[in-house]
A and B are shown apart, each in its own frame.
Chain A
Amino acid sequence: MAAIQFTNVSKRYDSGQEALKSVDFTLESGEMAFLTGHSGAGKSTLLKLLTRVEQPSRGEVWVGDQNLSELSRSEIPHYRRTLGVVYQNHRLLEDRTVYQNIALPLRIAGFNEEDIGRRVRAALDRVGLLESEQKFPQALSSGEQQRIGIARAIVHKPRVLIADEPTGNLDPRLSLDIMNLFEQFNRIGTTVLIATHDVALIKRMRHRVLILDKGRLRHVQ
């Protein structure tokens, strides 16, 4: 079954800029793929369509059995809870501890405190930072911060994990660590889509690569 499906998707912004042109691709459930291209090629737009921040001007975006264009305003938050998203600048809340940051998606989804504690620790364990629970993000290295960002993205066990330049600020060794982490989640069945311009890293990883070029998609194995 397809986890993510784009059918003839175009996106034109009000400014007239055409960010995506007839994009077609399918990501099977449990698949892992990279999305790459120069800056301005449409990577961010594609991710914004997936997180339902933007809507396509033409075509359809399906995630699982949900056509994103058919989501009502009140359904959007519930849809977003089925995703895990990792950001380049990790977007952790500086005034909250690591624990509180990772607990946020669970609080939003209405889990009870006991469940939250269990799941947060499980997520921290998976990214290897169990001892940092009560630290504030600024006390951690950038590699560790990004791992906390990933823990927050997977703590509610999303079906689909999306990452936007997750290694943008990291040196090659740390980048590889982070990518290995994504592979671990993919191995237990999570569908993973990573937007990155780190071509060297992509070549080492042997996954499907989607290349965007001026809004058009070229598939490369």
Chain B
Amino acid sequence: MSSSETRTRGASDLSVSRWQRLKHWTVQHRLESADAVKRLLHNRLSTLVTMLLLAVVLAVPTFMYSLLGNLKQLTPGTDFEPQLALYLSTELKAEELDRFSRSLLLRDDLLSVELISSDVGANEFKSHSELGELMTLLDENPLPAVVLAITRDQDPATMKLLRESMAALPEVDVAELDVEWLERLEVIVGSFSSISFVLALLLSMTVLLVIANTIRTMISSRQEEIEVSLLIGATGAWVRRPFLYAGLLYGFFGALLSLLLVYFSLALVEAPLAELTELYIGRFDLQGPDLSLIMALLMGGTILGWIGAFIAVSRQMGQLHQGSD
């Protein structure tokens, strides 16, 4: 065989067509992801420890966000409806009171209207209050008639506006809204939300560092393989790929494990939390993380894993100078 013939044959062996390359690219990715799983399973203990560490770190913000979801669910409570109390002018006569309360009934923004006349109010006061006896000392009933209304819109801001417009009515002396505790809850939810966000941010960085460090160790234990691969024609991308897969897998399975931890933690706090809520708002079922939170956790974990691995690989590869030894 002449040398030129061999050359041609050698060349055709190497020039794999574009279509074949694409096909092999997908096959290769499949093989390499399988290979990455195999390698992680090979060092079972250290892989498990790393994943558990990631799970704990990821569980903290996820747990916080689950609680936050539960708190938010309280805000527009079904058991509790904030009331608007209108203390009417004492100068109004019975039929005027009646007419006024009827006019309120026609309003769209009020769900229900209850008129409590000053007599009824006085009787209630007598039976419910220690100071009831005082009433007998008075000649006149000093209590105003009250209208208790439940608003259609339970949003605190809208309710406040409504309260103001009611207070401006000539029949109304004072309008009060018992949303104080609602506002307090909102502040609590708000600060809880920002604490959760900051925690999530800090712990995401922890995840990034843990994965970057794990991958860094992985790379140094496979230094020889990387150098040889580069010398026999591997591209930087080819060398990087298994490590990026490893980071991805660490992130995903860390997130999956953290989900278990979150359900476990929620189960732990369920009983004391139920006791607490019983005192204020009655029965309340603790909800697990909702679908969007679960998706965010799994995707976030996976992406963080990939980025962590990418950082580690880029740094290490930079030091390798395309395989010089």
Listed in ascending order, the chain A residues whose CB lies under 8 Å from chain B are: 1, 29-30, 48, 51, 53-54, 73-74, 76-83, 85, 91, 93, 104-105, 107-113, 152, 156-159, 188-190
What are the residues of chain B within 8 A of A157 when measuring CB–CB?
9-10, 13-14
Q: Which single residue of chain A is at the shortest CB-CB distance from B322?
A: A76
Contact A77 B225, beta carbon cutoff 8 Å: no
Return the CB mask of B200-227 against A: 1 if under 8 Å, else 0. Answer: 0000000000000000000000001100
* Cβ B224 vs Cβ A93 within 8 A: yes
Show the binding face of B for A, using Cβ within 8 Å.
1-7, 9-11, 13-14, 16, 20-21, 23-25, 27-28, 31, 224-225, 228-236, 238, 322-325
Instruction: Please tell me if the beta carbons of A82 and B14 are within 8 angstroms of each other in the complex.
Output: yes
Chain B residues whose CB sits within 8 angstroms of the CB of A109 once the complex forms: 14, 16, 233
**Smallest Cβ-Cβ distance to A94: which chain B residue:** B224
Which A-chain residue is minimally distant from B22 (CB atoms)?
A110
Q: Which of B23, B232, B322 lies at the interface centre, i.e. has the most chain A CB atoms within 10 A of its CB?
A: B232
- Can you name 9 extra interface pairs (CB under 8 A) apart from A81-B232, A156-B13? A53-B323, A77-B235, A93-B228, A104-B229, A105-B232, A108-B232, A112-B24, A188-B1, A189-B3
Q: Do B238 and A189 have beta carbons less than 8 Å apart?
A: no
Could you tell me if B238 and A108 are in contact, using CB atoms closer than 8 angstroms?
yes
Known A82-B14, A156-B13, A189-B7; judge A77-B233 contact (CB<8 A): yes
- Cβ–Cβ contact A159 & B233, under 8 A: no
Measured CB to CB, the nearest residue on chain A to B321 is: A53
Q: Are B10 and A107 in contact (CB under 8 A)?
A: no
Whether the Cβ atoms of A108 and B9 lie closer than 8 Å is no
Determine how close the nearest CB of chain A comes to the CB of B20; give it in whole angstroms: 8
Give A113 to B10 CA distance when docked, in angstroms.
19
> Which residue of chain B is the closest to A79 with respect to CB atoms?
B233
**What distance in Å separates the Cβ of B230 from its nearest Cβ neighbour in chain A?**
8
Bound: A159/B11 CA distance, A: 8
Please name all residues of chain A whose beta carbon is closer than 8 Å to the beta carbon of B233 when the two chains form the complex.
77-81, 83, 105, 108-109
CB distance from B323 to the nearest CB of A (A): 6
**Minimum distance in angstroms from A11 CB to a CB of chain B:** 13
Chain A residues whose CB sits within 8 angstroms of the CB of B238 once the complex forms: 77, 108
From known contacts A188-B1, A189-B2, infer whether A108 and B229 are also in contact, taking CB-CB under 8 Å. Answer: yes
Q: How far is the CA of A108 from the CA of B3 in the complex (A)?
A: 26
In the complex, what distance in Å separates the CA atom of A104 from the CA atom of B3?
26
Query: In chain B, what residue has the closest Cβ to A93?
Result: B225
Closest chain A residue, CB of each to CB of B224:
A93
Q: Which residues of A contact B9 (CB under 8 A)?
A: 157
Residues from chain A with a CB closer than 8 A to the CB of B235 are 74, 77
Which residues of B have CB within 8 Å of A81? 14, 232-233
Contact (Cβ within 8 A) B14 A188: no
Chain A nearest CB from B292 CB (Å) reads 40
A158–B14 alpha-carbon span in the complex (Å): 9
Jot down 28 A-B pairs with beta carbons below 8 A, ordered by A.
Answer: A1-B4, A29-B4, A30-B6, A53-B322, A53-B323, A53-B324, A53-B325, A73-B322, A74-B235, A77-B230, A80-B231, A80-B233, A81-B14, A82-B14, A85-B231, A85-B232, A91-B224, A91-B228, A93-B225, A107-B28, A110-B20, A112-B23, A152-B232, A157-B9, A159-B7, A189-B1, A189-B2, A189-B6
Does A104 lie within 8 Å of B6, measured CB to CB?
Answer: no
Give the nearest-CB partner of A74 in chain B: B235
B24 touches A111 (CB 8 A): yes
Task: Across the interface, name the chain B residue whose C-beta is closest to A84.
Answer: B232
Which chain B residues border A82 with CB–CB below 8 Å?
10, 14
Q: How far is the CA of A188 from the CA of B16 in the complex (A)?
A: 23
Of all chain B residues, the one with the shortest Cβ separation from A92 is B228
Query: Among B2, B27, B224, B233, which residue has the most Cβ atoms of chain A within 10 A?
Result: B233
* Smallest CB gap from B23: residue in A: A112
| Assembled-state Cα–Cα distance A77/B236 (Å) | 9
Per CB-CB distance, the 8 closest pairs between chain A and chain B, nearest first, are A189-B6, A30-B3, A81-B233, A80-B233, A110-B24, A189-B3, A77-B235, A108-B234
Of the listed residues B4, B16, B23, B234, the one surrounded by the most CB atoms of chain A closer than 10 A to its CB is B234
- List of B residues within 8 angstroms of A74 by Cβ: 235
How far is it, in angstroms, between the C-alpha of A76 and the C-alpha of B234 when the chains are bound?
9
In the bound complex, CA of A93 to CA of B78 (Å) = 67
Q: In whole Å, how far is B132's beta carbon from the nearest beta carbon of chain A? A: 89
Q: How far is the CA of A24 from the CA of B14 in the complex (A)?
A: 29
Residue pair A110, B323 in contact (C-beta under 8 Å): no
B1 to chain A, nearest CB (A): 6
B232 touches A104 (CB 8 A): yes
**Please, which residues of chain B bring their CB within 8 A of the CB of A159?**
7, 10-11
B323: chain A residues within 8 A (beta carbon):
53
Question: A51 contacts B231, CB within 8 Å?
Answer: yes
CA distance A74 to B235 in the complex (A): 8
Give B210 Cβ to nearest chain A Cβ, in Å: 25
CA distance A146 to B58 in the complex (A): 49
